[in-house]
């Protein structure tokens, strides 16, 4: 399987027409590294992920992935380079079964026996999906749906995976399982991970580094463990 690639965001400013929402953001995520992107509701996390996939255009600054400038590149070409986004919750097709959803993710990456092996591997990572493989997407619990969204992204063997609040609305045990699987996959495959979360404790428990965004600006960037233990950061921005 493939190894991760470096993401480099440099002095990025993004807005929606009413003035910038992100100001001068610089973040580097190295191959195989898990970086937690933290911040309250409205801090700008989703906007940053949208700038990576090309859904919103940068007013200034740059984003490079594996050394390639992504400016002006279409979303599908970014995906072909190995950038995968797992949006919050809604990417599962409700009318298709779990198995069909997974096959959709494998479509352009694997054929024949390799496809079957890739699908078996995802079922090995997420046993609840294996048990529910013939259930329709709309019958799944929130946790199962999040596992399926993640499994469907991973099956295409991306080089970087960006997740938007995968723990939103899920029970703590399910969050722990998803986080653990993400951590293990990142280790095994050398996958680069950018994890946007309001669940600070969960995210920092598996991250190498944390980046804290407040009102569209980076207010802290450092070792995950050090951040979690820094009282001034914790009280001011992380809410615990
Ligand atoms: P959340 O956890 O709620 O998704 P977030 O940290 O991801 O929060 P964003 O969704 O990126 O934050 O929002 C950052 C700011 O940009 C907010 O003030 C929001 O109102 C604004 N914003 C987001 N999307 C749009 C849009 N499509 N048009 C205009 N403003 C937007």
Predicted confidence at residue 111, as pLDDT, reads 86
- Considering the entire predicted model, what is its pTM? 0.93
Could you tell me the maximum CA-CA distance found in the chain, to the nearest angstrom?
A: 54
**Of all protein residues, whose CA lies closest to atom 30 belonging to ligand 1?**
16
Spatial CA neighbour of 161 closest among 185, 138, 141: 185
Residue of 17, 44, 195, 212 best suited for mutating to test ligand 1, as the one with most atoms within 8 Å of CB: 44
How many whole angstroms from 12 Cα to the centroid of ligand 1? 16
Predicted confidence at residue 2, as pLDDT, reads 58
Predicted confidence at residue 22, as pLDDT, reads 97
Which residues does ligand 1 sit against, CB inside 6 Å?
A: 16, 21, 39, 41-47
Q: Where are the alpha helices (DSSP H) in the chain?
A: 45-53, 75-81, 98-106, 112-125, 127-131, 142-154, 172-189, 200-206, 224-229, 231-233
Query: Measured in whole angstroms, how far is the alpha carbon of residue 159 from the centre of its chain?
Result: 11
Return averaged pLDDT per consecutive 10 residues of the chain, 240 residues in all. Answer: 85 93 96 94 93 93 95 92 85 92 86 92 94 96 93 93 93 92 91 94 94 95 94 83
Predicted confidence at residue 105, as pLDDT, reads 85
How many whole angstroms from 157 Cα to the centroid of ligand 1? 29
Residue of 43, 58, 164, 203 best suited for mutating to test ligand 1, as the one with most atoms within 8 Å of CB: 43
Task: Determine the atom of ligand 1 nearest the C-alpha atom of 17.
Answer: 29
ipTM reported for the complex, 2 dp: 0.94
């Amino acid at each position: 399987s493939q190894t991760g690639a470096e993401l480099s965001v440099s002095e990025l400013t993004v807005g929606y027409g009413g003035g910038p929402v992100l100001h001068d953001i610089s973040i580097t995520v190295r191959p195989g590294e898990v970086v937690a992107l933290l911040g309250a509701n409205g801090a700008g996390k989703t906007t940053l992920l949208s700038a990576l996939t090309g859904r919103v255009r940068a007013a200034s600054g740059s984003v490079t992935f594996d050394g390639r400038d992504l400016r002006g590149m279409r979303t599908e070409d970014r995906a072909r380079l190995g950038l995968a986004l797992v949006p919050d919750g809604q990417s599962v097709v409700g009318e298709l079964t779990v198995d069909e959803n997974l096959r959709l993710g494998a479509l352009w990456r694997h054929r024949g026996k390799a496809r079957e092996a890739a699908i078996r591997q995802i079922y090995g990572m997420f046993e609840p999906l294996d048990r529910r493989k013939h259930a329709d997407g709309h019958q799944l619990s929130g946790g199962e749906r999040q596992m399926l969204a993640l499994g469907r992204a991973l099956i295409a063997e991306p080089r970087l995976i960006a997740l938007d609040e995968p723990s939103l609305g899920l029970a703590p045990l399910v969050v722990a399982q998803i986080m653990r699987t993400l951590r293990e996959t990142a280790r095994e495959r050398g996958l680069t991970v950018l994890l946007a979360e309001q669940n600070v404790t969960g995210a920092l428990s598996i991250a190498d580094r944390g980046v804290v965004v407040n009102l569209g600006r980076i207010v802290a960037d450092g070792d995950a463990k050090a951040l979690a233990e820094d009282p001034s950061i914790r009280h001011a921005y992380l809410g615990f």
